[in-house]
Amino acid sequence: DIQLTQSPSSLSASVGDRVTITCRASQNLGSWLAWYQHVPPKAPKSLIYSASGLQSGAPSRFSGSGSGTDFTLTISSLQPEDFGTYYCQQYQSYPFTFGGGTRVEFK
Amino acid sequence: EVQLVESGGGFVQPGGSLRLSCVGSGFAFGSHDMTWVRQAPGRGLEWVSTISGSSIPHYADSVKGRFTISRDNSKNIMSLQMNSPGADDSAVYYCAAGCFGCPFDFWGQGTVVTVSS
């Protein structure tokens, strides 16, 4: 199975800060990686597909980069509605897997 | 507007059975892969099962042999039959949809399953 390791596991930041979350895969994923935001009890929300594609409806302050085994999600200017937990997910091969999550909190 | 609505959650005894359903609308249901993802209390998201538009199923090892995913494209319904659940299966179960080769573009609000005696 493909393992995804996210870092950091949590972070505190202020409104307007630039935030970067990394995801490392145990195997080469090409660009078969997605990013999601989850604020329970709401449904998870898709942000990024194919490592760098901005999902329709996702704010442009979110961007993704990387390929192969190292990927990054960047929030260019953190907004109050961006708190929650962010997950990377590989969909290159079954079983699909998620990273452990990065919890974003406000200072 | 795309909508995914889950139902069927509730309390179930260990070793019992429960059937979850997800109804989709606002998109081409039959051409999308449909997926169940769960989140146990205090844990992260976990992929459970996916069924392709042509009804080919895939399962996580943790549920293989106990859970069965199915779909009825004529009714825009996907189901998850949960047999012999254990305490580790207690979670919020989310329904998600994505085109073939896509991630999970659309998500439902989730249904809660509690396995307890």
The per-residue pLDDT for range A38-57, each reduced to its tens digit, is 998 899 999 999 999 999 99
- Tell me the nearest-neighbour CA distance from A56 into chain B, angstroms: 9
What CA–CA distance (Å, rounded) separates A100 from B15? Answer: 29
pLDDT digits 0-9 by tens, B40-91? 999 999 999 999 999 999 999 999 999 999 999 999 999 999 999 999 999 9
* Cβ-defined contact of A95 to B46 (cutoff 8 Å): no
* Cβ-defined contact of A89 to B110 (cutoff 8 Å): no
What was the pLDDT predicted at B100?
78
What CA–CA distance (Å, rounded) separates B88 from B91? Answer: 8
What CA–CA distance (Å, rounded) separates B108 from B54? Answer: 21
To test the contact with chain B by mutation, choose from A46, A47, A48, A52 the residue with the greatest count of B C-beta atoms within 10 A, namely: A46
What was the pLDDT predicted at B86?
96
CA B80 to chain centre: 5
What CA–CA distance (Å, rounded) separates B115 from B64? Answer: 18
Average pLDDT, chain A: 96
| Cβ neighbours of B105 in A, within 8 Å | 46, 49, 55
What CA–CA distance (Å, rounded) separates B17 from A4? Answer: 32
pLDDT digits 0-9 by tens, A56-68? 999 999 999 999 9
Give mean pLDDT, residues B17-34. Answer: 96
Which residue among A38, A44, A95 places its CB closest to the CB of B61?
A: A95
Give mean pLDDT, residues B24-53. Answer: 96
Strand segments (E) across A8-69: 10-13, 19-25, 33-38, 45-49, 53-54, 62-67
What was the pLDDT predicted at B47?
97
What CA–CA distance (Å, rounded) separates B78 from A80? Answer: 35
> What residue in B sits closest to A56 (Cα-Cα)?
B105
Which residue among B44, B58, B103 places its CB closest to the CB of A49?
A: B103
What CA–CA distance (Å, rounded) separates B9 from B111? Answer: 5
Give mean pLDDT, residues A24-43. Answer: 96
Banded pLDDT at B8 (limits 50, 70, 90): very high
